[in-house]
A and B are shown apart, each in its own frame.
Chain A
Amino acid sequence: MVEFDAWNFLYPGTWVIFIVIGTPVYAAILGWFLGKPRDMEKALMALTYLIGFIVSMWVGLYVLTQIIGLVFPPAM
């Protein structure tokens, strides 16, 4: 009997994140560009919002944590 082991060809996180959890995000973005009423400019604007918020969130967190690191330097 051949034992099935998903780990042999695909790590769980690969399909859990990029296929299962990604699907609603892909569906929303496809809906923006392919749904009707269609307006490419506004769909691009929405995509810019989405990417802009991802970047600002992580850059903001980076700045905040660096400030914490400067104010409270690790003990040597």
Chain B
Amino acid sequence: MSSRTPTTDDIVRPMQSTAKWYYVVFGVASVLALVWFGLWSIQLSRGLAVTNLTDWGSAGGVTWGLYIGAFIWWVGIAHGGIILSAAVRLFGMKRYLPVARLAELLTIGALSMAGFYIVIHVGRPDRIVTSVVQAYPVTVHQSPLVWDVTVITMYMVMTLTYLGLTIRYDLARIRDDLPNILEPVYKIATIGYSESEDEVIERIVWWLALGVIVMAPLLLHGGVIPWLFALLPSMPGWQGAIQGPQFLTIALTSAIAGVIILALALRRAYDWHHILTDDVIRGLTLWLGLFSLLFLWLQLQQVITGVYAAPLDQRSFAAAKVTNPYYQFAIGVVLLSLAYIFAQAVKAHIFSPMRSLAASLLVLAGTLTEKILFVFEGLEYPTFDMYYNTPGHYFPSPIEIGSLVGTIALCTLFFLVIVKVVPVIELHAIEELRGEGHSHVEGDD
């Protein structure tokens, strides 16, 4: 661990200077996003026919594929924010305080990308809001899709409120070091602020964290999202109570991997080795290992119950799943990452930030692959196969694959902009590292 003492200057540095790498990354991400907008405009002009999602019969009857798989993946990544913030605020795990806000911002960026995927997936985006809002009083009582919209909206606004309230403390104290051009934004964000509110706001965000820690993992990614699939009895690959826990473990795995990648990228970019220390990265790596293990364990449950004396429809789905090379890749890379995490837990010298970065990237590739396979294989292997005589197989079109590059580029741009607007490391984290303590983190892990 570095012996440098963290200062306020450290957290405002991204807003005060711009390095050459920033322009390069910004340029590359902008080009990739523009390429994606070009591809999407083809889809908007010609309809979903340009994807492989409309070929009933010739694509194996798949109308949900990469777009929905990637939607679930992004919602999963979004879980990192609340896990870490809640760990700090509710359970006193102050070790993770330096990455708490980064993780909250990842929630906003990743959830926005998930929402964007819904806009991408509909043939007429201009009808989304009116059709959802007008029909809401009727559909909310019966449609899991509308439950999904409701809970994602609540998760997003609760996270935004959480951020909006906690950032007042920081902005009020470091306002003089922030860019003058954004003064009106900071004025609105700190409206009515006085130091006497700190204790009350801490309590308000504590309640908010409590609400979100129950709602997001248990009722969103372990609830309404898997229920979109698990409630359909005609799709053996989707149906069943195991989907809730399975979705949740994949979400937690992706989330921690996302936070590790983000923390390491910013640590390198802004020389934050003394704030986002190896100790923090190693702690996150161990959490990644635990969630990866749970993910693999639940996969094993599904494979065993699918291949051993299972009903015919389940057996057919399970055979297709385990023999698919992409599935073997997904499980293989998570196993490989787990092997590294286990090894570095046993022998500390095996740990390195770059290896943890590689493990996180592999895990994200694995979870994305698994989620896309889950969505389209579930449709390709129904209980009653209507397309048996018109065989076909779904594979994402270039436009669908381009959406992955586009959303990753957009999320990168979001972070490049946000580091210039607000401090992405809480002032509390600096105070804590300097031993000045803070009331909301009373214990330690």
Interface residues of A (CB under 8 A from B): 11-14, 16-17, 20-21, 23-25, 27-28, 31-32, 35-39, 42-43, 45-46, 49-50, 53-54, 57-58, 61-62, 64-66, 68-72, 74-75
Contact = CB atoms under 8 A, between A and B. Distances in A.
Contacts of B151: 17, 21
The B interface is mostly helix, strand or loop, or mixed, namely helix
Grouping DSSP codes into helix (H, G, I), strand (E, B) and loop, the A interface class, with mixed when no group exceeds half, is helix
A58 B130 CA distance: 10
Given A13-B144, A74-B124, 15 more contacts: A13-B141, A17-B151, A21-B224, A23-B214, A24-B211, A28-B158, A28-B210, A37-B203, A46-B204, A46-B208, A49-B160, A53-B156, A53-B160, A68-B126, A69-B126
Most chain-B Cβ atoms within 10 A of its Cβ — which of A12, A42, A43? A42
B153 A57 contact: yes
B141 A25 contact: no
A28 B127 CA distance: 33
B223 A13 contact: no
Most A C-beta atoms less than 10 A away, residue of B126, B127, B215: B126
Interface string B339-364: 00000000000000000000000000
B211 A25 contact: yes
Contact of B204 (A43, A64, A74): A43
Give the top 6 A-B pairs by smallest Cβ distance, nearest first.
Answer: A69-B126, A28-B211, A31-B207, A11-B141, A72-B44, A53-B157
A21 B215 contact: yes
B394 interface: no
A30 B192 CA distance: 22
B44 A58 contact: no
Contacts of A14: 140-141
